[in-house]
Structure 1
Amino acid sequence: MTITGDRLQRLARSTADELPGVSHGRPFTDKLDVYKVAGKVFLIVTDDPDEQIITVKAEPEYARSLRQRHESITVGRYLNKRHWISLAAGREITATLVKDLVADSYELVAASVPARHRHRTG
């Protein structure tokens, strides 16, 4: 089953909302819903009906591998192109992949935060 842009974004949001210490808001523009852990971005949901994408952090080699295997995964929009990827709707994008990438992004970002700050929101 092909995942739609709307479902992609709902899955990303619901996955992020279930993780501890997560906050979100629109600090850059009203079309970007930004999710953070301990004040650091791990997910951006683009609220534009013409461009329903999400952007997550990934290990550089894994990100490159994903881009090679999935045409709906591209270099990250808005952020460092080596460490971030953007996902759009596509037949090769599954609910499991979306959930895993959001959770992995959260873990990568949380691991970079000193332990005493990890459950702080903002």
Structure 2
Amino acid sequence: MDIEEFRAYCLSFPHTHEGMPFQGFFKNSRSILVFYVGKKMFSFFDIDKFDYCTLKCDPEVIETLREHNGIQKPFNLSWKHWISVALNGDVSDEMVKDLVKKSYALVSAGLSKKST
């Protein structure tokens, strides 16, 4: 899956929008593209590298998922609620899409109708 296909997939979910909120704050984070449902993020990646994405995840399945090659602890986020997923082929496109879908569902389930 290339960067445009991944981006289109993330944007295909209802009430989803994208942004680059870190451009003016952190030198190493200027190229981070974030996908939101309402005001809550569910996925993001570095557009300059596109080597992994970070996704919200059900805490009950995180440890099992991390046993899979290509799924690891995220950089600078809660290891209890987020995972980092390799986009280099270690994780199949189907599994990446499934994890994105679950991330979106997890975040959107926590929103009130007013915030979407």
Shared fold (TM-score greater than 0.5)? Answer: yes
**C-alpha displacement of 1:47:** 2.0
Q: 1:19 to 1:93 in 2, by over 3 A?
A: same
Alignment length (residue pairs): 110
Question: Following superposition of structure 1 onto structure 2, how do residues 12-27 of structure 1 map, counting pairs within 5 Å?
Answer: 12-27=6-21
| C-alpha distance after superposition, 1:72-94 (max 9, x if no partner) | 11112232111100111354411
Unaligned runs of 5+ in 1: 1-6
Deviations 1:40-72 (A, max 9, x none): 0100112233x611000111121111101x121
Structure with more relative contact order (C-alpha pairs < 8 Å, separation 6 or more): 1
**TM-score under structure 1 normalisation?**
0.80
* Cross-structure match for 1:54: 53
1:8: Cα distance to partner? 5.6
TM-score relative to the length of structure 2:
0.83
**Aligned pair in 2 of structure 1 residues 9, 88: CA closer, same or farther (>3 Å)?**
farther
Could you tell me which runs of 5 or more consecutive residues in structure 2 were left unpaired when the two chains were aligned: 24-29
Q: Distance between the aligned counterparts of 1:81 and 1:87, measured in 2?
A: 13
Instruction: For 1:38, give the aligned amino acid.
Output: G
The 5 Å alignment of 1:98-113 reads 98-113=96-111
Counterpart of 1:52, as a letter, is D
Deviation at 1:24, TM superposition (A): 0.6
Aligned-residue CA RMSD in angstroms? 1.8
